[in-house]
Amino acid sequence: MKRRRGPTLLLLSGVIFLAVLPLVPLLFASTQAQSEAHVDILTLNGMIAPFTAQYVIRGIDAAEADGAEAVILQMDTPGGLMNSMDDIIKRILNSRVPIVVYITPRGARAGSAGVFITMAAHVAAMAPITNIGAAHPVGGEGETIEGDLREKITNDAVAHIRALAEARGRNADWAEDAVRNSVSITAEQALSLHVIDLMADSIEDLLAKLDGQAINTNWGSQTLHTSGATQNYIEMSWSEKFLHVITDPNIAYVLLSLGTIALIAEFYNPGAILPGLTGVICLVLAFTAFGVLQPNWAGVGLILLAIILFLADLKVQGYALSVGGAVAFVLGSILLFRPLTPTLPSMPEISVSPWLIAVMTASWIGFFFFALAATVRVHRGKLSSGTIALVAAVGIAQTDLSPRGIVLVHSEEWSAEAVGGPIQKGEAVKVIEVVEGLQLRVTRAPSG
């Protein structure tokens, strides 16, 4: 009897088809996933601080979660805080996703802490017309540190940067030279000296050159598929952007200056509320920035001394103390970011623009002369309308009069000159004459 193969083959084909059918979506999914490969891009500009470290760590966490091919860290930094730099480096070293540091745009640099972060990256790249280097510890005026302290700081930094460079197979001798001798090189020099791995004109060029490279991480070797990959930019949060703005030394300086002026305006016009509130907010923001910028507190003290001198001049209604206040303000402004102790290799040199110091000093002097003129006008108005009422009025000495000082008459403070001998603070006085120049002549009031 002849077997009927037709139905059997048909049945077998149907079984195979049904078995393969569930695998078809997986094949399409695999193809789609490969075509939708993406890289996460972070941008680190300016000082390296706690909030920038938080941003970079958050970005790497997100890249690990969303399956990015790599993280591109676009960087242009003069340096920053050692602790923040260390936090970024530790996260890079323990990342599941390859980290590519790309010094860009043209004209950018990686100085101080930026050199260490570049050495830690799985791939180091630079755009044309950029530079890297200058990680030598210096003093507050940019001078070379001598002695045991210099050796201690330098040796620690050298050990750190050599370990990073050797782990990535880069030029550890140059990295040491950047710390010991503050050398700085161009992108072309960095490539020829094997300080970096490649140069790229743009992100697209960088992704094309990264494609197919095998990258070793702590979690194994990964081959990058970055050619034509989708670029996913991870931005700073609004709070991180805000902190980034106020930690500019010029902005922090303006906040300190405006905050003190606003508080003095509130002092002059109690109950106005708005100047006082504005002053408190500005000062809180200024001291928040100082936590990152590490100011010279002697400079802050000189600025506070300037405020005290200006206020004192408003009381005595003269000009000599204002001159001293202006000098103290200028000196404090110059010293504000000149550290008393040597800076670490991660920190850049920080200073306030001389033009900004000139503008703020002129603003301070203008403000206090305006306030002084307003005070004089008010007192002259009171004199013209109440001179007769002041004569024979009784008041209290607010300070010792020997012979000049301050007295309180009709609930107002006046400059006064004692007649007939010194008068102690707290004694009763009697006005005998109002003289030109807003000054009272007083004598000790008879007891009883």
Q: Quick one: pLDDT at residue 304?
A: 85
Written as six digits, the tokens of 54 are: 């938080």
Decide if 430 contacts 444 (C-beta within 8 A).
yes
Give the Å distances, CA to CA, from 20 to 10, 13, 30, 31, 423. Answer: 15, 11, 16, 17, 110
Instruction: Give every CB contact of residue 6 below 8 A, 6+ residues apart in sequence.
Output: none
Confidence category of residue 142, pLDDT binned at 50, 70, 90: very low
Written as six digits, the tokens of 235 are: 């931005």
Say yes or no to pLDDT of 166 above 90.
yes
* 184-201 confidence digits (pLDDT tens): 999 999 999 999 999 999
Tokens 């083959």 correspond to what residue?
Answer: 9
Mean pLDDT across the chain: 82
Dist CA 114 CA 225 (whole Å): 27
Confidence category of residue 448, pLDDT binned at 50, 70, 90: low
Confidence category of residue 376, pLDDT binned at 50, 70, 90: low
Say yes or no to pLDDT of 368 above 90.
no
Across 2-6, 35-39, 237-241, 368-372, least confident range: 2-6
Decide if 416 contacts 442 (C-beta within 8 A).
yes
Higher model confidence: residue 167 or residue 30? 167
Dist CA 317 CA 230 (whole Å): 68
Written as six digits, the tokens of 307 are: 């405020």
Amino acid at 142: G
Q: What are phi and psi of 396, to 5 degrees?
A: -125, 135
Q: Can you list the alpha helix ranges (DSSP code H) found in 142-199? A: 147-167, 172-180, 187-192
Q: What angle do CA 108, 80, 195 make, to 5 degrees?
A: 50
Confidence category of residue 35, pLDDT binned at 50, 70, 90: very low
Say yes or no to pLDDT of 33 above 50.
no
Residue (of 74, 72, 93, 92) closest to 224 by Cα position: 72
Confidence category of residue 316, pLDDT binned at 50, 70, 90: low
Residue 112 known to be catalytic: yes
Dist CA 46 CA 361 (whole Å): 27
* Architecture of the domain defined by 391-444: Beta Barrel (2.40)
The conformational region for residue 17 under phi > 0 = left, psi -120 to 50 = alpha, else beta, is alpha
Confidence category of residue 153, pLDDT binned at 50, 70, 90: confident
Q: Which of 13, 30, 90, 152 is catalytic?
A: 152
Dist CA 137 CA 154 (whole Å): 7
Amino acid at 49: A
Say yes or no to pLDDT of 438 above 70.
no
Dist CA 340 CA 140 (whole Å): 6
Dist CA 213 CA 222 (whole Å): 8
Dist CA 141 CA 56 (whole Å): 31
CB atoms within 10 A of CB 313: 21
Instruction: Give every CB contact of residue 297 below 8 A, 6+ residues apart in sequence.
Output: none
Decide if 246 contacts 258 (C-beta within 8 A).
no
Span 228-253, mean pLDDT? 91
Q: Quick one: pLDDT at residue 22?
A: 53
Span 396-414, mean pLDDT? 89
Say yes or no to pLDDT of 29 above 70.
no
Say yes or no to pLDDT of 315 above 80.
no
Q: pLDDT above 90 covers what percent of the chain? A: 42
CB atoms within 10 A of CB 345: 29
Q: Which of 112, 257, 322, 333 is catalytic?
A: 112
* 199-238 confidence digits (pLDDT tens): 999 999 999 999 999 999 888 899 999 998 999 999 999 9
- DSSP state, residue 128: S
Query: Residue 40 forms beta bridges with which residues?
Result: 71, 232
Residue (of 309, 398, 446, 383) closest to 416 by Cα position: 398
Say yes or no to pLDDT of 401 above 70.
yes
Dist CA 234 CA 238 (whole Å): 12
Say yes or no to pLDDT of 86 above 90.
yes
**Regarding the domain delimited by 36-237, which CATH topology (the fold level of the hierarchy) does it fall under?**
2-enoyl-CoA Hydratase; Chain A, domain 1 (3.90.226)
Q: Provide the total of helices (H) and of strands (E) in the chain, helices listed first.
A: 15, 16
Say yes or no to pLDDT of 15 above 60.
no
Helix (H) or strand (E) run with residue 237 in it: none
The conformational region for residue 102 under phi > 0 = left, psi -120 to 50 = alpha, else beta, is beta
Tell me where in the chain the CATH 2.40.50.140 domain(s) lie: 391-444
Decide if 16 contacts 23 (C-beta within 8 A).
no
Q: Quick one: pLDDT at residue 363?
A: 80
Higher model confidence: residue 134 or residue 127? 127
Span 116-132, mean pLDDT? 97
Q: Quick one: pLDDT at residue 189?
A: 97
Residue (of 356, 369, 283, 377) closest to 326 by Cα position: 369
Across 39-48, 211-220, 325-334, 378-387, least confident range: 378-387
Tell me where in the chain the CATH 3.90.226.10 domain(s) lie: 36-237
Give the Å distances, CA to CA, from 313 to 18, 322, 357, 371, 376. Answer: 96, 6, 22, 10, 12
Span 322-335, mean pLDDT? 84
Say yes or no to pLDDT of 32 above 60.
no
Residue 312's Cα: distance from chain center in Å?
33
pTM of the model: 0.70
Q: Quick one: pLDDT at residue 306?
A: 85
Residue 430 known to be catalytic: no
Across 133-137, 253-257, 333-337, least confident range: 133-137
